[in-house]
Structure 1
Amino acid sequence: MAGLVLPVPPARATELVEQVLGDPAAPVEIIEYASLTCPHCAAFHTETLPALKERYIDTGKAKLVMRDFPLDQSALFAAALAHCAGPDRYFAFIDALFSSQSRWARAADPKEALLQLAQLGGMPREQAEACLADEALMDAILQVRLDGQNEYAIDSTPSFVVNGKKLTGNHGIDNFAEVIDAAAP
């Protein structure tokens, strides 16, 4: 991440709808800050999240709030497309992005690879192109990153905040269980 400078979005950036997996009223809130080009984030989503979901999210004990923390332009574009997929398809699109990350993130033209992935997911190309041209959306995503830096001192991905307790890096289910169980009422 050293050397990456992202523009500071204007104060009037569009507000993003918070993406929540699980019961919004669940007593334990797990906030994830992730970059869609981060291999450790992909590992969390493919290896740890299924167990976390089964044990805590599907049972109503915890909810996962996904927040964007793009580390590069490809991650910013991917996050924008996920938001443009809509709330009903957001997490399915995130799963597709993480499971195919090695293909699109390393492609000669990652933007084109993302556009093709969006089309495979049912998004018309014109909608995907308009999404990537939406400066207000890009500014809103960058604002989420800035807010994470300011509020929780997030500086790497994946980073998690479990009921106020910050965890950095990809942790296994046992580490999450310890933190979640301690945070549960």
Structure 2
Amino acid sequence: MIDRRRFLEGLGTAALTAAALFTIASPVSFGAGQIAFISSAEAQTVEMAKLMAPGALPDLVLGKADAPVIIVEYASMTCGHCAHFHETTYPVLKEKYIDTGKVKFILREFPLDIVAKAAFMLARCAGPDKYYPMVDTLFETQKSWAFTNNPAQALLTIAKQGGMTEEQFNACLNDKKLAGEVDQVAERGSKEFGIDATPTFFINGKKISGAISPDELDKELEPLLTAN
């Protein structure tokens, strides 16, 4: 689980430029102004109406709209524990629970650095139908782009493989509105739901911090599904 210790100050809602990313040798923290973190002890459960209220960016949902269980994950694209969850537990979650109509899944942006923010922006720019395939690809290839001296070139290669042109890539990373909206999603997660690390999950409102194994997932979901 990665701590968002330096989220408080930085680039705010400024747009990301490809030129800036080309010079990044290590993650640079950013934020949307001063944020008052809520400790995990203060926010173990969240009312579902509050959790599911519309935010700065529309939720992109996987699964049936009337699924009895809703899982919301706050993640960072450069978070190794998030990548591990998506490589190991997420395939089980999708096949066993999402595709069978038992779970509705929502991923929300909580980037820990400017490179993660750029990756999320590219996933959003790919469009609603390609968002999760792009996220899957980015997590699967995380080591090849997230921690390199030239993350922009690596991200551009992935974007092109997803059908994006270099012009579209540059336009996406210069989208000030989208950059600000990603910040707002993260800020809301911090202020309203006590998010201070990734990954953090809400399973029908119950907060769980840290990656979840397939066995742990089963233990969390079984009583909820039995009750329905």
User: For the superposition of Structure 1 and Structure 2, which TM-score range results when normalised by the shorter chain?
Assistant: over 0.9
* AA of the residue aligned to 1:157: T
**Is contact 2:122–2:172 with CA below 8 Å preserved after alignment?**
yes
Q: Secondary structure at the match of 1:88?
A: helix
Segments of 4+ in structure 1 off by > 3 A? Answer: none
Q: Identify which of structures 1 and 2 has the higher relative contact order when contacts are C-alpha pairs closer than 8 Å and 6+ apart.
A: 2
Which of 100, 106, 113 aligns to 1:59? It is 100
Deviates more, 1:125-134 or 1:105-114: 105-114
Q: Secondary structure at the match of 2:129?
A: coil
> CA offsets, 1:108-145, max 9 Å, x none?
11122112210111111111110100011011111111
> CA offsets, 1:16-57, max 9 Å, x none?
221111112211000000000001000011110001111111
Residue 176 of structure 1, CA deviation: 1.4
Q: Normalized against structure 1, the TM-score is what?
A: 0.93
* Match of residue 2 from structure 1: 5
* Match of residue 159 from structure 2: 118
**Is contact 2:81–2:211 with CA below 8 Å preserved after alignment?**
yes
Q: Distance in 1 between matches of 2:137 and 2:108?
A: 17
* Match of residue 68 from structure 2: 27
Let me know the Cα RMSD of the aligned residues: 1.4
**Is contact 1:162–1:183 with CA below 8 Å preserved after alignment?**
no
**Is contact 2:5–2:196 with CA below 8 Å preserved after alignment?**
no
Q: How does 1:60-99 map to 2 (within 5 A)?
A: 60-99=101-140
Give 1 or 2 for the bigger CA radius of gyration: 2
* AA of the residue aligned to 1:7: G
* AA of the residue aligned to 1:152: F
Q: Distance in 1 between matches of 2:193 and 2:215?
A: 23
Q: Distance in 2 between matches of 1:99 and 1:38?
A: 12
* AA of the residue aligned to 2:76: S
Identity fraction in percent: 45
Which of 156, 173, 183 aligns to 1:132? It is 173
Q: Distance in 2 between matches of 1:173 and 1:116?
A: 32
Residue 159 of structure 1, CA deviation: 0.5
* Match of residue 142 from structure 1: 183
Q: Secondary structure at the match of 2:154?
A: helix
Residue 100 in structure 1 maps to residue 141 in structure 2: yes
Q: Secondary structure at the match of 2:208?
A: strand
* AA of the residue aligned to 1:2: R
Q: Distance in 2 between matches of 1:24 and 1:111?
A: 36
* AA of the residue aligned to 1:170: A
Q: Normalized against structure 2, the TM-score is what?
A: 0.76
* Match of residue 40 from structure 1: 81
Q: Distance in 2 between matches of 1:150 and 1:24?
A: 27
Query: Which runs of 5 or more residues in structure 1 are unaligned?
Result: none
